[in-house]
Structure 1
Amino acid sequence: MKHTENIAVIDIGSNTLRILIGNIKANKINKLYTDRVVTRLGKNLIENGVISEKAIDSSIIVLKKFKKLFEKFNVSCIIAVGTSVLREAKNSVYFCEKVKESTGLHVHIISGEEEAYYTLHGVIDEELKEEDSVFITDVGGGSTEWIHYSRKNFKMGSMPIGALKIKERFLNTVSYSEEEIYSAKNFIKEEIKTSLPQVKINKFIATGGTASTLGMINLGLLKYLPEKIHMSEIHVIEVKQILKKLLSISLEERKKIKGMPSNRADIICPGLLILKEIADYLNVEKLTISENGIMEGIMKNYKKFCYNSKL
């Protein structure tokens, strides 16, 4: 087995399907290709309990497009993982069977704790290993993973709140009322209080779609440029200012904000509310945005999935 074999990781999330193709060289990931497509698998999941046929079909179309890349990049190891939407949907087995039948891909449904574990491995590098106390959070569509890392010791967990879930439960309108915002904030605060440890930290890192979108808005990017967003910093007071503005305008106005991907304009406020409340709970002044996360963590641990190795 060559150490430079190409690996493909697909992350099937509540809001987005993502792909990373790369290889491992000198214990570091060499990225060859990345892409993300919004499919909203988790849409109306709270209300219906199942993934819709429309979302399943659109996701399979995307997965077929991803599959065409495997030959182009000479991929020898393919790993597809499903997160909160597939943990919760009543028809997740049906979805996985349909994906297998249509694309040949086997989907691994991972737990919230596993999701946090691989996120930690994706974010932590040699430099961060020296930090005394790091808190990492990934605000997804259906869940929010958290990790507290301190000198090689870590605690982690998963909260059943995400940008898409908060949108559908509290902020499912084109313009938000004060009452809707207040209800969403209180719900998020209560979940954080019961789920997160109270710890002193010296670095707060956010990863995932909400963090990436925040980075794009903060830097005023007209298109997604992960190399510019990665490890960029923003003060929490600036996050609050951005959030306050976004909450006060309509969906169409949010779409016109510089750096705002139009397909995330309806879920950016719920996602930022979660991120902001976590920052307040931890009493931090700034956050660092990482473009590495679960996919990079899985790629680093690819032998577990493809060769059943115990790493």
Structure 2
Amino acid sequence: MIPNKAAIIDMGTNTFHLLLVELYDQRFETLYKEKIPVKIGQGGISFNTIHPEAKKRAFHTLQHFKNLIEGEGITNVFAFATSAVRNADNGPEFVEEIKEKFQINVNVIGGVEEAQMIYEGIRFSGSLQNRTDLMMDIGGGSVEFIIGNQHEALWRKSFEIGGQRMLDLFHYHDPILKEEVNNLTAYLAEKLAELEEAIKVYKPVGLVGASGTFDTLTDIYYASLHQVKLKDQQVFQLPRNEFEIIAQKLLTMNKEQRLKIPGMIPMRVDMIVVASCLIEYILQLLPVDLLICSSFALKEGAIAQLMGKHSLAAAESR
């Protein structure tokens, strides 16, 4: 008998996610999900270290997650960590401590593997059609870009330019200064030269944003229309001109004002300014009229991989 319940722990640079699911051959059911702004990159990411306070927050959250997992009687636990942990000098020691304290094995995934899992999550959401799209996921530590269609990822790369890094480097004033935006744009032009080349080669025609910032941007857009997102919907559309209006507004506001925007969630309020600047930059490289937003990303990509293995094992046991 294959255990068909699983727990996914996604230890992102900004947010830790817990997803408890029941797996079937072609679908999954969410039993419980929670996200906590652990901000493991805060205070240390620019120095390639995990700050003691960030570690404390991480352990507190993992204890909470472990209690929920055990309460659900789940033994199949898949935990993975991304940019902040993979680049931290004390990352291996941190992972070892987690194993000792919580009996959780954390898989520290590389950038290309992270991009592939994000692609599988986006594909699983139904966001991709029979055309070539540029996909992006803005994390706290890294940003993943994938060019592909619903059949395959043609190109994928992870860039260590995530929201927390951009914040630390450029966002010193609130509201952000024009000069800081210009410096950030110049930095992106330098760091994303490889992406620009890939866009010229593969000629994507659409832009798909995964989770995180894109969830919040669509929340703000839907709130402006006095509409509510449907719980079982995974794909949302954000017209470019509506994004531009939101982005311009974000540049002129301080944190207190941003928090009052209908649809804004507190855990995104700091990074959303630099993340919007990054999206603006990408729209210069790929001028589209519509942003497609997938609520599925890395953790759903992990589920897609698990389901593949689950249905394979089920077939073998028949």
Q: TM-score higher than 0.5 here?
A: yes
Q: Deviations over 1:262-307 (max 9, x none)?
A: 232111111111122223312221111111111011122238999x
Equivalent residue, structure 2, for 1:208: 211
Shift of 1:36: 0.4
Structure 1 residues without counterparts, runs of 5 or longer: none
Equivalent residue, structure 2, for 1:179: 179
Q: State the one-letter code of the partner of 1:176.
A: I
Please say if residues 5 and 76 of structure 1, whose CA atoms lie closer than 8 Å, have aligned partners that are also in contact.
no
Matched, 1:11 2:15: no
Q: 1:226 to 1:20 in 2, by over 3 A?
A: farther
Q: 1:253 to 1:161 in 2, by over 3 A?
A: same
Please say if residues 45 and 88 of structure 2, whose CA atoms lie closer than 8 Å, have aligned partners that are also in contact.
no
Once the two structures are superposed, the pairs formed by residues 1-311 of structure 1 within 5 Å of their partners are: 1-2=1-2, 5-125=4-124, 127=126, 130-150=129-149, 152-154=151-153, 155-196=155-196, 197-198=198-199, 199-220=202-223, 227=231, 230-302=234-306
Please say if residues 203 and 287 of structure 1, whose CA atoms lie closer than 8 Å, have aligned partners that are also in contact.
yes
Rounded Cα–Cα distance in structure 2 between residues aligned with 1:112 and 1:232 = 26
Using structure 1 for the length normalisation, give the TM-score: 0.90
Using structure 2 for the length normalisation, give the TM-score: 0.88
Structure 2 residues without counterparts, runs of 5 or longer: 314-318
SS of structure 1 residue aligned to 2:80? strand
Q: Deviations over 1:90-130 (max 9, x none)?
A: 11012112212221111100001000111111111495565
Runs of 4 or more above 4 Å deviation: 126-130, 303-306
Rounded Cα–Cα distance in structure 2 between residues aligned with 1:139 and 1:102 = 30
Rounded Cα–Cα distance in structure 1 between residues aligned with 2:244 and 2:11 = 30
Rounded Cα–Cα distance in structure 1 between residues aligned with 2:272 and 2:57 = 22
SS of structure 2 residue aligned to 1:220? helix
Q: 1:228 to 1:70 in 2, by over 3 A?
A: closer
Rounded Cα–Cα distance in structure 1 between residues aligned with 2:176 and 2:204 = 33
Rounded Cα–Cα distance in structure 1 between residues aligned with 2:150 and 2:123 = 11
Rounded Cα–Cα distance in structure 1 between residues aligned with 2:33 and 2:210 = 16
Q: 1:186 to 1:238 in 2, by over 3 A?
A: farther
Q: 1:166 to 1:147 in 2, by over 3 A?
A: same
Shift of 1:250: 1.1
SS of structure 2 residue aligned to 1:36? strand
The percentage of counterpart residues that share the same residue type is 25
Q: 1:129 to 1:174 in 2, by over 3 A?
A: closer
SS of structure 1 residue aligned to 2:75? strand
* Number of residue equivalences: 305
Please say if residues 122 and 128 of structure 2, whose CA atoms lie closer than 8 Å, have aligned partners that are also in contact.
no
Q: Deviations over 1:228-277 (max 9, x none)?
A: 77311011222121111111111111111111112321111111111222
Please say if residues 12 and 82 of structure 1, whose CA atoms lie closer than 8 Å, have aligned partners that are also in contact.
yes
